[in-house]
Structure 1
């Protein structure tokens, strides 16, 4: 689109998470007027650590915010998978050969703070809970719970797995329970029982349970994540310390000790959901982004990275296309095949059988055969 057309474009982003904040930054650099509407009165990101892949960090460099993100991260060289007894299964070097930017490990709270910190003052509007959206063809109208109404040339639904924008305009399918729970906490390096001495991300895999140790050494902390099978699909289930200890039975005693010493008040507990791929992400003036478009399980660590990549692809498409409708078509054509594949791969996770398929002969010796 021509510069003058982009500068006259009014864009409303619903949701101030990773995808919404990234889209706001990328699109504001095009000269568009961008406003972000977030339902929370205060933005607080619970949970633990994530890894920002090289392609994501390259987007931040492109947008001039690499340093703001990198200063609250630890660069990481490897991802390693081990048995419950800490015997190695595989070790993968990241980034891939030829990349000059490492994967960076970051706390979720630091990440969203850094992203919001690079947006112009007044761009983010808190306390705006979306109730409905009306698509009028060339413009859309947002109606919020407190009575405010906003009209925009382009609305970006970055409002997460429970997206109102998706439900109202594109798909009424409900989120899908994975049959797993995730228990996440951030602990000090001193409480990691000597298991973290570098910046490598490690996953310990046993029957029905995966334990992730993600170093945040720039914080003198470690992100500790247990993902375990559980049939309870309650979004925020009630879980006891004994429940957690049962999931790590048979793992290295140091991992059991970390679990035993967790302060349950600081453990983020949730059932794990994603969504089935949806056919259409956009109309002529409304588009989905991030989890609203393709929420995926966390096993491959692609959720936040995909949201940032969506934001970059949307900005690229608006710059290249002749109109907003053409740009949205190009954006979906670029991103949907990628995210469909990532959703499928993330659902596979890292089961012992799949490790055996990918790394023949390296299946954990402790694994019991399936019935």
Structure 2
């Protein structure tokens, strides 16, 4: 689209998470008039650490915000998978891409704060819980529970796994339970009993349980995540310290000690959900990005990175197309095949026996599969390429 047309474009972004904040930044750089509408009255991101991949960092470089992200993150060289007791299964450097030949580890809260911090003051409107969305062809109208209405030339639905935009216009299917729980906490490096000595992500695989140690060196902390099989599909289940200790039975005693030392009031506990692929992401004036379009399980670490790539691809499509409607079709054509694959791969999960399928030839010499029984969760077993698993 011509720059003059882009500057006359009014865009309403629903949601101020990763995808919404990134879309707001990318679209505002086109010169469009962008407003972000977030249901929360304060921004508070719970959870723990994530990895930002090279392609994501390339986008940040293009948008002029790489330094803001770098200040609150640490570079990482490789990803390592070990057995429950610490025997090495796989070690691979993160794939490089473009000029940003690194992966950076960051706390979710710091990431959201950094993204929102580079948006113009007054762009984000809190306390706007979406009630309805109507596509009128050349524009769309949002109605919020606080009584406000907003009409825009383009609405970007970035309102997460429970997206109202998706459910009103594109798919009435709800989130899908994976058969797992995720328990996440941030602990001081000094409380990890010597297990964290560098800036690299490690995953320990046991029978039905995966334990992640993701260093956040810039904070002097470590993201400690346990993903375990559990049939309880309650969205925010009640879990005790004894429950957590049972999930790490047989693991390295130091991992058990970290678990035993957790302050349960600081542990984020949730059942793990994703969504089935959505056939269509856009109408004439409304489009989905991030988890609203393709929420996926966390096993491959692709959720936040995919949301950032969506934002960049949407801005690219608007710049190149002759109209918003044409741009939305190009955006979906570019991104949906990628995220459909990542959703499927993420559902495959990880088991020790599957490491050779995921990373052929990467197992240390003489290290044979331990004969561990495969996981029986709904997510199945792994079977993707190293590049996809580690993030392209």
**TM-score where L is the length of structure 1:** 0.98
Is the 8 Å Cα contact of residues 80 and 92 (structure 2) preserved in structure 1?
Answer: yes
Deviation at 1:28, TM superposition (A): 0.3
> Are 1:56 and 1:308, in contact at CA under 8 Å, matched by a contact in 2?
yes
3-state secondary structure, aligned to 1:172: coil
Contact 2:54 2:97 (8 Å CA) reproduced: no
**For residues 226 and 113 of structure 1, do their structure 2 counterparts lie closer, same or farther at Cα, with a shift above 3 Å needed?**
same
CA contact (8 A) 2:96 2:102 kept: no
Q: TM-score, normalised by structure 2?
A: 0.92
Give the CA deviation at 1:350. Answer: 1.1
Pick closer, same or farther for the CA change 1:175–1:86 going to 2, 3 Å: same
Q: Measure the CA separation in 2 of the matches of 1:231 and 1:364.
A: 27
Q: Structure 1 residues 122 and 325 mapped into 2: Cα distance closer, same or farther (>3 Å)?
A: same
Deviation at 1:365, TM superposition (A): 2.0
Is 2:375 aligned against 1:365?
no
Q: Counterpart of 1:300?
A: 300
Q: SS in structure 2 opposite 1:287?
A: strand
Q: How does 1:29-40 map to 2 (within 5 A)?
A: 29-40=29-40
Q: Distance in 2 between matches of 1:244 and 1:73?
A: 28
Aligned equivalents of 2:145 and 2:286: distance in 1?
Answer: 20
Query: Which runs of no fewer than 5 residues in structure 2 stay unpaired?
Result: 377-392
Corresponding residue for 1:131? 131
Asked if structure 2 preserves the Cα contact closer than 8 Å seen for 1:355 and 1:363, the reply is no
Correspondence for 2:58: 58
Conserved 8 A contact 1:352-1:363: no
Contact 1:8 1:32 in 2 (8 A): yes
Q: State the alpha-carbon separation in 1 of the partners of residues 237 and 302 from structure 2.
A: 24
SS at match of 1:141: strand
1:207 aligns with 2:207: yes
Which segments of 5 or more consecutive residues in structure 1 lack a partner in the other structure?
A: none
The whole-number CA distance in structure 1 between the counterparts of 2:253 and 2:375 is 25
Compute the RMSD of aligned alpha carbons. Answer: 1.4
Give SS of 1:293's match. Answer: helix
Instruction: Name the SS of the counterpart of 1:92 in structure 2.
Output: strand
Structure-2 change in CA distance of 1:363 and 1:173 (3 Å): farther
Q: Which residue of structure 1 lines up, in the alignment, with residue 105 of structure 2?
A: 105
> Does the Cα contact within 8 Å between 1:356 and 1:363 map onto a contact in 2?
no
Partner of 2:84: 84
- CA contact under 8 A between 2:141 and 2:150: conserved in structure 1? yes
Deviations along 1:112-148, one digit per CA (max 9) or x if unpaired, are 0000000000000000000000111111000000110
**CA distance in 1 between partners of 2:374 and 2:59 (Å):** 44
Q: CA deviation at 1:97?
A: 7.5
Residue 277 (structure 2) aligns with: 277
Distance 1:369 1:101, change over 3 A: closer
Deviation at 1:363, TM superposition (A): 5.5
Cα distance in 1, alignment partners of residues 277 and 152 from structure 2: 27
Partner residue, 1:22: 22
- In structure 2, what is the Cα distance between the partners aligned to 1:352 and 1:221? 27
Residue matched to 2:322: 322
For 2:253, the equivalent position in structure 1 comes to 253
Kindly indicate whether the alpha-carbon contact (under 8 Å) linking 2:208 and 2:375 is maintained by their aligned counterparts in 1: no
Distance 1:255 1:287 in 2: 43
